[in-house]
Structure 1
Amino acid sequence: MTATVAITTRTGRSLVSKADFAMLAAFCGDEYGLERAVANRVVDQALALVFVMGSTGEGTSMAPSQKVDPGWHTLVLHTDWYANWCQEQFGYFLHHQPNSKTRTGGLMTSVVGKIRAAGFEVDDQLWDTAAECNAPACCGDGPCC
């Protein structure tokens, strides 16, 4: 007899209240010209990324994909909210230290692995790690191809 254990994943949006998520997603959509459904996905992934960065202390070795970056900018642009959220989640303020020049396919795969290992759902299309984004097709997110 084999026991089956269901693996439960969480979302980035589960880290904030429904009202806060709606406020952040609406801003992200308006600010970056994204449809609301896309903005929801982007902010969800940004929250998961920042949570993993802050809770592991590996923020300097991680970076958002080009598609997820507007979500992190959305968080940071809400400075009071972001500072309070960081303090509640990690006990310190996680600074945004841009390192977009390091965006590679390998880095994005590593970041996605860390987010998954922390138990979060990953939207591979936003990280350019979906099967259709692998070489020889170029994803357009840094020097991945």
Structure 2
Amino acid sequence: MTTITEPTLREGRELIDHDLFQILTDRVAVEHGHDPALAERIVDQALAFLATSARHAGRPLSPSPLVDHGWHEFILHTRDYATFCDRVAGRFLHHVPTDPTDTDVTGITAHDRLVRTVDAISAAGFYVDTDLWPTGHHIECSQCHQGCTSSPA
């Protein structure tokens, strides 16, 4: 008898120790006015985004505005952030702000970058919290294996 198991989706929070995750979550909650549960989700997705960006070949990826809150707070912890970057990417991951209304040199809009980013995070095996990624269209659900689609709220 052959047993088939579904792959387990990773969470961004697995990439750092619990204490640092809590510090970042608390900072996101206080500095950006989010409730603690939302702050946890934001930091989790920021870490998944960073790990995906570190290994992604091709066009650049972009965080959503909410996920960017998590990245901003992590960058402020320079030693921990630099150590994370060295371990996960082998280099420093710079933050280069973009205007959401801008298109890049290839004509890709901010919306298209978010769609590409969500697809890349999912392909990297991370859980995607679709409520934090306002892509405005149905995306393939990475939370189950039933072939369904999920639309962000």
TM-score range, shorter chain: 0.7 to 0.9
Q: Residues 80-139 of structure 1: CA distance to partner in whole angstroms, max 9, x if unpaired?
A: 110111111121111111124346332211100000000000000000145155xxxxxx
TM-score when normalising by structure 1: 0.82
Partner of residue 70, structure 1:
69
Structure 1 residue runs of 4 or more that deviate by more than 6 Å after TM superposition: none
The one of 112, 121, 141 aligned to 2:127:
121
Bigger fraction of residues in helix: 1
SS in 2 for 1:63: coil
Whether the 8 Å contact between 1:64 and 1:108 is mirrored in structure 2 is: yes
Structure 2 residues not aligned, in runs of 5+: 103-108, 136-149
Whether the 8 Å contact between 2:130 and 2:152 is mirrored in structure 1 is: no
Distance in 1, matches of 2:99 and 2:64, equals 8
TM-score when normalising by structure 2: 0.78
Partner of residue 25, structure 1:
25
Which aligned pairs between 1:85-100 and structure 2 lie closer than 5 A? Answer: 85-100=84-99
Partner of residue 140, structure 1:
none
Q: Displacement, 1:6?
A: 1.1
Whether the 8 Å contact between 2:12 and 2:48 is mirrored in structure 1 is: yes
Whether the 8 Å contact between 1:63 and 1:100 is mirrored in structure 2 is: no
**Count of aligned pairs between the two proteins:** 132
Question: Among the aligned pairs, what percent are the same residue?
Answer: 38
Q: Displacement, 1:71?
A: 0.7
| Coordinate RMSD, CA, aligned | 2.0
Structure 1 residues not aligned, in runs of 5+: 134-145
